[in-house]
A and B are shown apart, each in its own frame.
Chain A
Amino acid sequence: MQSERTRKLRAWIRDVVPHICHERAVLITESFKETEGEPMPARRAKALEHIFANMSIWIHEGELIVGNMASTPRSAPIFPETCTNWVKKELHTFWERPVDKFYVTDETYRILMEDVFPYWEGKTIEDMAMGYVPEESRNAWLIEHRIFNPMLYLRNGVGHMIANYHTPVQIGFNGIIREYEEALNALDMSEPESLQKKVFYDSVIRTLNAVIAFARRYAALAEKLAAEEQDAVRRDELLEIARVCTKVPAEPAETFWEATQTFWFVQMLIQMEIDGTGVSTERYDEIVYPYYKKQRDEGSITPEFAQELIECLWIKFWETMNVYDLDNATYFSGYSLGQVLTIGGVDRYGRDDTNEITYLCMDAEQNINLAQPNLAVRINRNTPDDFLFKVCKHISRGSGKPHLFNDEIIIPSLMSEGCSLEDARHYTIIGCVEGGIGGKMNAWANTSMFNLVKCLELALNDGVCMLTGQQVGPRTGKIEDMHTLEDVIEAYYAQVRFFVRHMTICANAIDYAHQNLLPLPFLSALFDDCLTSGKDVTCGGAKYNFSGPQGVGVADVADSLMVLKRLVFDEKKYSLLEIKQAMLDNFEGHVCLYNDIQNVPKYGNDIDEVDEFATMIGRQYCEEVARYKNARGGKFHAGLYPVSANVPMGMDVGAMPNGRKSLTPLADGVSPSAGADLEGPTAVVKSVAKLDHIKASNGTLLNMKFNPDILQTDEQIEKFMAVIRTYFELGGWHVQFNVVSAETLRAAQKAPQDYKDLLVRVAGYSAFFVDLDRSLQENIIARTEHKGF
């Protein structure tokens, strides 16, 4: 059952046209002009204080959970400290561009262009980062068809971590302020470091006080609205909102409503401090359950009302907005903010911790069914079958949500990177599929994309790009001199080594720019070790510090190596030169070769001979990445997932030996190439599970598409559950499903207005199909659809 309230709220929010909001940009610019010359942490804290005191706030009709990040719902605030350069160029296109459109009023346009951007010229992350990048690395990076692309954190904040949500709920921000005041008072100011620490502690204390004052503005607004309200029921609700926001997040929560309100403030405020995406939460069900339980025992809350509050929270997630530049909007299209909310999984002692709230979250998800929050469910061997059944039943309805994660692999994986057992068990999901630890790990997940397929192209052409003819990679040998498959693989490895090295250098350059320009006092308050280390989270204050770049195109490389093995080296039917010529010709006029390629085994069909290549190249990429240290005293660790970048990244790669034509999409995640997996879902999960998922500690992504016809009956859903359980038992990290037929997707392309609520799974996130870039729509249609027989 869905309440009238959340039904109305959802209907309203789904149709709001996204706008650009200039308020935050104006306020931070005003503040920064006032604080020139002061230490950056102090400037950032004062800017936040100014923003929180002066930005517009509102409470929409019917809302129970309050807090807005822009002047109107689903508006994207502008963060000139990160994005001035590109927004200046692209602002006039925001309404016309093909994906992720934003409406810009004339007033907003004028204010941003005249009052805001001129101040920030030369002061952004991008400006400073490029100053850190050595020329050699710049040359390896900024080529026409790129091998790696760390653009996201060059043009936006980082986000992509899990903060501590439970401490604000449990002790309130006043509790945290007291801890910081104690630390401040304990400083021996004759220690030189203490001067830096004092600036940091002051910045946190100032920010948290500003946050408390900000929440009380909502209390005051609610009181004012209550005084004007005619409806007695709504008047009481507004008075309760006023009471809640006076108390939290300053003080510890004592009710389910209070805990949920604090949870939302934390989630929203992180995204107002800086425009990082992938801002994801600790386990909501774990944090709020004790408050729910207590009230249930007292008889002061019903499950129905708790669910209603959860639905109000869900709608808030969808209300938040961020704007990407066109490149990144194409990479991550569908207004994807990557706000993952995780439920389920084991507690710190390893016991399954699925509780009543976990179930209520699934019910709320079914009612709200919006692209955000990106709901993640942790599965372990003791996850109750009835809960998994409920989840699968929801998946069978086709929204692509939730996606599923495997405790039994992710926990050891994080431990292998040096996290403690207790911390690892506390993991939740960041952005798409990355694992993070609340308040402990500054993950920098999604650091960069890395094109593995392009490396093979270069290896087969002595480092020369087949699309431009330019020498972009190292000379790793002419194919005339390659006599064994090992020669080819060695050249490929050498290309990967070269570009991974430069990718880490560029990522570290960007990291230093963030450290200089973007200390984040609010976020730092939510990282436990910042208090003891006296360091901002941006500068390495967290307990664990990672950077996670993703390898893309595992399947294409594996299938290509298999073709070379079979047709060139085993059967000797073709020479390497003939293969290269066919690649250059995009297979035009090479019919027999092309047809022979179709008969070579492909990754995804549970055939060891080719799956072994996928395992091998996945491992090599991960090991190569893991050799490098990052700029925050931590290290790099690799993932194997593409978000939706496999489509644009395909535009950088010529034809490949596996028969993939020039400029077409790469395989997504660790999934088989679209259409290559002919043996059904069981073969797919067996192939994919052969990869070393523990080693890919920044996450792997498996996309599967099922025809809705085979997920109709309970019996069919039980068989589907067996596939999921088996994939996880075999060692998979993550799996997500689209349960929608190609016919439905084609129909939605033809009549988008009739399918505006058709939610599909893109990559690590769901989006409304009609909001997606056309090429991405085609890619989703092209994924193999499992029908079952």
Chain B
Amino acid sequence: MANSGTIFNIQKYSIHDGPGIRTIIFLKGCPLRCQWCSNPESGEPGIQIVFNQNLCVDCGTCLRVCRQGAIRRDDCFGKVIDRQACNTCGECIRNCPVQAFKSVGKVITVEEAIREVRKDAIFYRKSGGGVTLSGGEPFEQASFTAELLGRLKQERISTAVETSGAVPFKNMEPSIENIDLFLYDIKHTDGEMHCRYTGRNNKVVLENLKELDRLGKRIWIRVPLIAGINDSVENMDRVFAISRGLKSVERVELLPYHEYGVGKYAQLGIKYQLEGLKPPTESKIKEILEMAAERYSGLEIIVRRHG
């Protein structure tokens, strides 16, 4: 069994992803490429170096110290890193006088992860919290995820997994018994739209959801609310209908899009596809909630505005 995985952050005092005070472990690597993703650094499975043009004074040091010749000047992004050539040796990070480079992602063992999350156990107890695995897509690193969840349960720590659902069910299977709560994304109910904006169809997503429901796992459905893409009353009506139809779904959480992640695209040297996209309007959200109140009374719906 693999006992190490690649993560890009451990976030403590998370108060928006599951009950109580939680620690989120963000795993690197995702099968989807949602255009609105606020963690674009989570897509690639390996370690990456990112560059912040806002800090750069263009002194040229990085160009000199990079032995791979992987860094070049760029009109749009300031500097661009050739991912093929970069061996993530970190010399650019070490030598940059203005700390414009940093490394994203690190490999840690299950035990290291456990040591870290155990530090906040007292807060989980006090608040009814626990640990949430997020990403990226946790089930892309299926065996690491399974072992980590197993160890968390041994530690008597409550667990949640935030998943896109876009993985083969066999990737989930070894983890399922050790997951207390699924935060399960439905990004779009329409297969074609799903494919267009995330890179994949939603067929597996919906099938896996049904299977988890059949197994009686606790599920919170989550929808990133993206203006003009999935925030139509029709799409949300279908989300609520699916949720209502599943006995294990306890609530639906709507996460209105925010712009905090946009800057990260430039740091990765990627063009942001949804330039100029704004958060959904309050009136739109109100419209959705009114529709839900009318047609799905009793279904718990929560709008999470931060995070």
Contacts and interface: CB of A to CB of B under 8 A. Distances in A.
Interface of A: 591-592, 594-596, 598, 606, 679-683, 686, 709-710, 715-716, 718-719, 722-723, 725-726, 729-730, 786, 788-789
Contact of B93 (A595, A725, A788): A595
B13 A723 contact: yes
B122 A726 contact: yes
A729 B96 contact: no
A598 B100 CA distance: 13
Given A595-B94, A595-B96, A789 B21 contact: no
Given A788-B16, A789-B24, A726 B126 contact: yes
Nearest to B17: A789
B263 to A, nearest CB: 15
Contacts of A686: 119-120, 122
B95 interface: yes
A680 B15 contact: no
B13 A681 contact: yes
A682 B123 contact: yes
A686 B21 CA distance: 14
A788 B119 CA distance: 17
B119 A683 contact: yes
26 contacts: A591-B97, A592-B94, A592-B95, A595-B93, A595-B95, A595-B99, A596-B94, A598-B99, A606-B119, A606-B120, A679-B12, A680-B11, A680-B12, A682-B12, A682-B123, A683-B12, A686-B122, A718-B127, A719-B21, A719-B127, A723-B123, A788-B16, A789-B13, A789-B14, A789-B15, A789-B307
Given A719-B20, A722-B127, 19 more contacts: A592-B95, A595-B96, A595-B99, A680-B12, A681-B13, A682-B120, A709-B306, A710-B15, A718-B127, A719-B15, A719-B21, A722-B21, A726-B126, A788-B15, A788-B16, A788-B306, A789-B11, A789-B15, A789-B307
A680 B14 CA distance: 9
A648 B105 CA distance: 39
Nearest to A593: B94
Given A591-B97, A595-B93, A606-B119, A725 B16 contact: no
A789 B16 contact: yes
B21 A723 contact: yes
A718 B19 CA distance: 12
A722 B306 contact: no
Nearest to B91: A592
B66 to A, nearest CB: 15
B21 A682 contact: yes
A725 B126 contact: yes
B272 to A, nearest CB: 21
Q: 10 tightest A-B contacts by CB?
A: A680-B13, A722-B127, A722-B126, A680-B12, A591-B97, A682-B13, A788-B15, A682-B12, A789-B14, A789-B11
A722 B12 contact: no
Interface in B61-113: 61, 93-97, 99
A595 B97 CA distance: 8
Contacts of B122: 686, 726, 729-730
Interface of B: 11-17, 20-21, 24, 61, 93-97, 99, 119-120, 122-123, 126-127, 306-307
B94 A788 contact: no
A713 to B, nearest CB: 10
Contacts of B20: 719, 722
A598 B120 CA distance: 24
A594 B94 CA distance: 9
B109 to A, nearest CB: 17
B99 A786 contact: no
A591 B96 contact: yes
Nearest to B307: A789
Contacts of B17: 789
A786 B14 CA distance: 11
A716 B20 CA distance: 9
Contacts of B15: 710, 715-716, 719, 788-789
Nearest to B93: A595
Contacts of B97: 591, 594
B122 to A, nearest CB: 5
B24 A591 contact: no
A596 B94 CA distance: 7
Contacts of A786: 13
Contacts of B12: 679-680, 682-683
A606 B123 CA distance: 13
Nearest to B21: A719
Contacts of A596: 94
B42 to A, nearest CB: 14
A592 B92 CA distance: 10
B39 to A, nearest CB: 11
B94 A726 contact: no
A462 to B, nearest CB: 30
Contacts of A598: 99
A681 B95 CA distance: 31
A377 B90 CA distance: 49
A188 to B, nearest CB: 61
Contacts of A709: 306
Contacts of B307: 788-789
B58 to A, nearest CB: 15
Nearest to A724: B126
A680 B23 CA distance: 10
A311 B12 CA distance: 40
Contacts of A718: 127
A388 B300 CA distance: 28
Contacts of A681: 13
Nearest to B10: A679
Contact of A726 (B11, B95, B123, B306): B123
B123 A722 contact: yes
A596 B90 CA distance: 11
A788 B126 contact: no
B15, B17, B20: residue with the most chain A Cβ atoms closer than 10 Å: B15
A710 B21 contact: no
B257 to A, nearest CB: 16
A606 B17 CA distance: 22
A24 B271 CA distance: 72
Nearest to A707: B306
Contacts of A682: 12-13, 21, 120, 123
B112 to A, nearest CB: 13
B137 to A, nearest CB: 18
A710 B307 CA distance: 10
A422 B159 CA distance: 45
Contacts of B13: 680-682, 723, 786, 788-789
Contacts of A683: 12, 119-120
Contacts of A726: 122-123, 126
Nearest to A685: B123
Nearest to A587: B97
A789 B120 CA distance: 15
Nearest to A689: B122
A523 B304 CA distance: 56
A679 B23 CA distance: 10
B301 to A, nearest CB: 15
Contacts of A679: 12
A750 B127 CA distance: 40
